[in-house]
Amino acid sequence: MPNLIAVDWGTSSLRGARLDGEGRVLEEKSAPLGILNVPNGDFAGVFASLFSEWMKPAGSVCLISGMAGSRQGWAEAPYVACPAGPEDLKRHLHWIEPGRIALMPGLSIEQGEVPDVMRGEEVQIFGAMRLAGLTDGLFVLPGTHSKWATVQGGRVTGFRTYMTGEFYGVLGRHSILARTLDAEAPLDEAMFGRGVTRAGEGKGLLHDAFGVRALALFDRLSPAQSASYLSGLLIGEELRTQELTAGREVIVIGAPALTERYALALDRSGVRVRRFGAEATWAGMRAVLA
């Protein structure tokens, strides 16, 4: 196996890792140079400044996932339609320098008359599959735009995006809820759980969100509690539309502060949770190159 330089190049930042032949991380680096912050659109220059040292050994290969492969990125690596596995991504790599530097495509799917897309998360899914030793399962990637993906036979067969994190941000900052909500407060598990339960009752997010306001109006939620309750409402709403049965296993991939909340919410339904972090990205890159 060649030395692999794995880069997750997102909208606001990028992270890179140098992996040995067995996929072990030898070195990591990150920079606030997401695709929106690349000076003069000089992606090649930013890449060289960060990774030319790592690329020196003969036979080094770099795979880049995330928004760098979007229309607004370095070059467009078109979406691959589901079902798709690591071998499909490999076949559709968009080579910047043949055999040396490639952009990973994202995944797309049609559901009813509406498409859905992911870009970057598919690598994390394939990595978590490998780390967990699974070829089938339900995978959740919480975030600004959370993804729920079904994997069968080692390929992503279906997925859905939820604007959970972004709703939390815009409601907490720009709606009437902002007046009585401290979005930076630490998690209040009891209030978070109340939100999850409330969302599960199915009255709908448009109504439940106003409940945050009404509870604050009657001094029954403090600003810190309001943030946790709203977070519970939103994650609970996301969970409400999944087919989750007690005893089922769900793989949750992401930053600990987020996966913790999903684990808390899923645990209430008796769902078993396995969590993975950044290591899933690097394992996924290695899986694609294999």
Residues at the interface with a second copy (CB under 8 A)? 112-117, 145-146, 160-164, 166-167, 170-171, 173-176, 194, 198, 201-211, 214-215, 217-218, 220, 234, 237-238, 240-241
Instruction: Give the shortest CB-189-to-a second copy separation in angstroms.
Output: 17
Query: For residues 255-288, b (16+ Cβ closer than 10 Å) or e, as one string?
Result: eeebbbbbbbbbeebebebbbbebbbbbbbbbbb
Instruction: Give the shortest CB-111-to-a second copy separation in angstroms.
Output: 8
Phi-psi region for residue 223, left (φ > 0), alpha (ψ -120 to 50) or beta? alpha
Please name the residue that has the structure tokens 């941000």.
Answer: 169
Give 116 or 260: the residue with its C-beta nearer to a second copy: 116
What Cα–Cα distance (Å) separates residue 122 from each residue in 134, 159, 261? 15, 10, 21
Give dist(CA 225, CA 280) in Å, integer. 32
Give dist(CA 225, CA 144) in Å, integer. 21
Instruction: Give the shortest CB-248-to-a second copy separation in angstroms.
Output: 19
Beta-bridge partner residues of 102: 63, 95
Instruction: Give the shortest CB-146-to-a second copy separation in angstroms.
Output: 8
Give 146 or 225: the residue with its C-beta nearer to a second copy: 146
Give 56 or 174: the residue with its C-beta nearer to a second copy: 174
Instruction: Give the shortest CB-204-to-a second copy separation in angstroms.
Output: 4
Instruction: Give the shortest CB-129-to-a second copy separation in angstroms.
Output: 23
Give 15 or 240: the residue with its C-beta nearer to a second copy: 240
Give 223 or 277: the residue with its C-beta nearer to a second copy: 223
Q: What angle do CA 18, 93, 14 make, to 5 degrees?
A: 40
Q: Strand 4-9 vs strand 14-19: parallel, antiparallel, or unpaired? A: antiparallel
Give 65 or 161: the residue with its C-beta nearer to a second copy: 161
